[in-house]
């Protein structure tokens, strides 16, 4: 009876080996690659610059600045012009793989009335390759379509 057990045990061992060799070792979940969000994001309003967001990966931490443009025209008959404001550094930056959230200072936006304003929460939501929407979460207003380039 013993000789019969050896072939059965060998067959079971051969069946079990491929299953064990194919299983992947335990891996830590990886954080989303910031490469999809780094670069220069530009948004236009009426064919003129509306916002520019620069995002870089500084040794594993995302950093950057957001610049809004002020659009105006002198009279209703004049063409619109776009003038850059002051860039504001991104604060409390978080990227979950689909959305980049951060805050910017609002103190210098419209001085002197904004000098005591708290930071503004901003969200950049990826919508496709090199495409995103920028929104001021404090106002929940319209989104600004953004297009990414490498710099």
77-95 pLDDT, tens digit each: 999 999 999 999 999 999 9
CB distance 130 to 124 below 8 Å: no
Give the Å distances, CA to CA, from 57 to 36, 38, 64, 66, 87: 11, 7, 9, 15, 18
Does the predicted model carry a pTM greater than 0.85? Answer: no
Q: For 6-43, give one letter per residue: b (16+ CB within 10 A) or e.
A: eeeeeeeeeeeeeeeeeeeeeeeeeeeebebbbbbbbb
Mean pLDDT of the chain: 81
Predicted local confidence at residue 27, as pLDDT: 45
Whether residue 26 is predicted with pLDDT greater than 80 in this model: the reply is no
Please name the residues in contact with 142: beta carbons below 8 A apart, sequence gap of 6 or more: 135
Q: What are φ and ψ of residue 4, in 5° steps?
A: -70, -30
CB atoms within 10 A of CB 73: 10
Q: What is the pLDDT of residue 34?
A: 66
Please report the domains of the chain, with CATH numbers, ordered by start residue.
34-149 (2.40.128)
Weakest-pLDDT range from 10-14, 81-85, 95-99, 134-138: 10-14
Retrieve residue 95's tokens: 């990227």
> In the predicted model, is pLDDT for residue 35 greater than 90?
no
């Amino acid at each position: 009876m013993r000789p019969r057990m050896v072939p059965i045990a060998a067959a079971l061992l051969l069946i079990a080996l491929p299953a064990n060799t194919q299983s992947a070792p335990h891996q830590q979940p990886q954080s989303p690659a910031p490469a999809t969000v780094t670069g220069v994001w530009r948004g236009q309003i009426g064919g003129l610059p509306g916002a520019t967001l620069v995002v870089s990966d500084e040794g594993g931490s995302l950093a950057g600045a957001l610049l809004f443009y002020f659009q105006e025209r002198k009279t209703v008959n004049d063409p619109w012009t776009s003038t850059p404001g002051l860039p504001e550094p991104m604060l409390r930056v978080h990227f979950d793989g689909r959305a980049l959230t951060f805050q910017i200072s609002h103190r210098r936006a419209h001085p002197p009335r904004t000098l005591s304003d708290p930071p503004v929460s901003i969200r950049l939501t990826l919508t496709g390759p090199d495409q995103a929407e920028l929104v001021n979460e404090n106002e929940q207003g319209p989104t600004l379509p953004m297009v990414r380039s490498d710099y």
